Amino acid sequence: MDYIIKNGIIVNEGAMTKGDLFIHEGRLVQDATKLRKPQVFEAEGCYVIPGVIDTHVHFRDPGFPAKADFATESRAALAGGVTSVIDMPNTSPQTTSLAELEAKEEIARSRSAVNYAFMLGATNDNIDQLLAIDPLRYAAIKLFLGSSTGNMLVNNAERLDKLFSESHKLIVAHCEEESIIQANLRNYKMEFAGQEGETAALHPKIRSREACFVSTYKAVERARKYGTRLHIAHVSTATELSLFSNMPLQQKLITAEVTPNHLWFDDRDYAELGNRIKCNPAIKSNEDRLALWGGLFDGLLDTIATDHAPHTLAEKQQRYFDAPGGIPSIQHSLQMMVEGFFNPAATQRPDHDEVLHEWLPLLVYKMCHNPAEIFGIAERGYLRPGYWADLAILEPGEYTVTPQSLLYKCGWSPLEGQTLHTRLRHVFLNGMPAAQSTAMPLKFNK
């Protein structure tokens, strides 16, 4: 089936232009004469953007069926305009070998509603095996420099040097200095020994600014020493921004990601939301949050990805020290970020019209174009002739997040009760309306 997306405001490659898009046999084409009996989708008054590429998700499959699986979380992603995802390796079993990668590919092939790829996880023991795998088989190497869910901490300096000096694949690093975290944790556990009453407000004190900066600094210095392509995941502090460059993306070896949660929440929200916004690295101060917004506009932060990490509500309702870190967020990540121009006060940006024309094209770079470039994803991330027709059609209009609207298997979100000002009118995946589409594995060109 062929399609015309008609009269939309097309946001692509830094421009906003009103026009039509033509889809033929799953791909965008320039010439409408190629279309055969096309179905027309009216987009008057709507913004048409490339499908979001979320390069940091934890769909918990295999191994954690109570939390999530590829079927539920990919449907939530598609409902939010996310058409491609890259899943993390801290599942059970962990994705640390080619055999485990192939097993996850089979799960996604049978369950996923969106296009998919996977990272392979580094450990202290598997660096030689990772370096031997064809780099076109997977999205990146995930490196945990601080322990998190699944505890894949890599702390052997010799092994890290080998990985950074010999890898031909992008390394994505979770940076928190483990020694600082453990010292802080011991101190606070001693303070609360034999009693309950600790709250999630401790989280940014335990997983502190210092822990983030020290670890990120070490990773950046190691990458500079060896000329390694490095992507820092979920930057959470103002101080880390000093380690990054705002040179053009094509000239960068070191790039950085921020999550919608670190841009939306700050430490004042722990009083109401508690463990619901406990994540690793921790959500920190309002000053950090505003600095991260500035880093997006100034070119220091290159991508926006969710770190979508669901846990059951029962797990989250445990005392702070026992509750796991992670937030489900992929269903509303695009709407959260678009909210930046409907609510400029949240970002300390200027008036609405200026924000609209500055922010939407930039948002498309951070959520669509740049992820495709950094990860070398072929034929996606742009609205270009010949590319797969992955796209989202956004319409202005109020939308309140309710438990009934959530598609996550865990069934909850810290956004419940929030009113957003954008809705998804249509999503196309591989040239088909979402309800009729079939997902594909992502292909890499570098």
Q: With DSSP H G I counted as helix, E B as strand and the rest as coil, what are the percentages for the chain, rounded to 5?
A: 40, 20, 40
d(CA 94, CA 100): 7
- pLDDT, residue 350, reads 45
Residue 215 lies in a domain: yes
How many Å separate Cα 181 from the centre of its chain?
A: 24
Structural tokens at position 427: 């999503």
Query: Do the Cβ atoms of 278 and 315 come closer than 8 Å?
Result: no
pLDDT value at position 349? Answer: 52
Is the residue at 91 inside a domain? yes
Beta bridge partners of 9: 18, 47
Per the structure, the count of domains in the chain is: 1
Q: What's the pLDDT tens digit per position in 94-107?
A: 999 999 999 999 99
Residue 318 covered by a domain: yes
| Residue 244 token pair | 């990054």
Q: What is the pLDDT of residues 173-202, one digit of tens each?
A: 999 999 999 999 999 999 887 777 799 999
Cβ neighbours of residue 197 under 8 Å, at least 6 residues apart?
none
CA distances from 29 to 51, 201, 369, 433 (A): 16, 52, 19, 17
96 found inside a domain: yes
Give domain status of residue 42, yes or no: no
Structure tokens at 318: 């445990």
Kindly state whether residue 391 falls inside one of the protein's structural domains.
no
Q: What is the CATH number of the domain that holds 363?
A: 3.20.20.140
222 inside domain: yes
Which residues, including other chains, have CB under 8 Å from residue 325's CB and lie 6 or more apart? 148, 149, 203, 278, 279, 280, 282, 309
Q: How far apart are CA 395 and CA 120, in angstroms?
A: 37
Task: Tell whether 321 is covered by a domain.
Answer: yes
Low-confidence ranges of the chain (pLDDT < 50): 350-352
- Domain that includes residue 301, residue range: 52-375+401-420
User: Left, alpha or beta for 3 (phi > 0: left; psi -120 to 50: alpha)?
Assistant: beta
The CB-side HSE value for 185 (13 A sphere, CA atoms) comes to 12
